A and B are shown apart, each in its own frame.
Chain A
């Protein structure tokens, strides 16, 4: 089947026809419709990561608290006692 040619008499009308463009209000409506169709997903990781970090910090703190009382029982020996063994009196 032969492809019909476009009518040259309409050539000057084409740019006039194409000067009509979508108004900005339609662009905004389409974008809003898109966002209703694909709602923005909440950033779950941003919420859970600080929570996980806080839980880890709390665990470390609990472990440290358990260790410290045991350390507190430790008494340094201090200066060594010098025990002088008597050799007895000389005659």
Chain B
């Protein structure tokens, strides 16, 4: 069953349809929220709020304009921006501490590559980070990424270009054993 059909049923109170929709999209939404907030607790709350907002806004969804995933990730992005604004006002230092180079090295020493990748992504400025995460890691198309971020596709390309260059600078340290030579 297609996403638009499931959304219509879920918005009408069909729990089974909601469950399928949730299981289909929860992980990309969670990872994106985590990348943008750098907090597991915040990401969990944002996942919940994203799906509830999705149900409330279901009548506004236009399948011909965007895929459900890019629309949902757009909702997630808005919620992250609101929360990030609040968090930045409360304490900017804590966020920076979590994403520093020392964190990446420590994760590599512990042989936690996934953790090191997350930390490397977290070093990117927010506009580059959201473009890299959606396009490179969640494999949305350029149009879907632009729709989720509500920016022009050319702006996505520019962010991808800068984000890749920046991420490449930490790649030699991140790359698994035996691959690092090719990045040097």
Contact = CB atoms under 8 A, between A and B. Distances in A.
Contacts, number: 86
Interface in A1-49: 1, 3-4, 6-7, 9-10, 12-14, 16-23, 25-27, 29-30, 33-34, 37-38
A22 B47 contact: yes
Chain B contact patch, size range: 35 or more
Chain B contact residues, majority secondary structure: helix
Given A19-B114, A21-B27, A13 B44 contact: no
Interface string B47-65: 1100110010000000000
Chain A contact patch, size range: 20 to 34
A66 B138 CA distance: 79
Contact of B164 (A1, A7, A16): A7
B176 A18 contact: no
Interface string A50-87: 00000000000000000000000000000000000000
Interface in B148-184: 153-154, 157, 160, 164, 167-168, 171, 174-176, 179, 183
Interface of B: 13, 15, 18, 22, 26-27, 30-31, 34, 40, 44, 47-48, 51-52, 55, 113-114, 117-118, 121, 133, 135-137, 139, 141-142, 153-154, 157, 160, 164, 167-168, 171, 174-176, 179, 183
Given A7-B164, A13-B174, A29 B153 contact: no
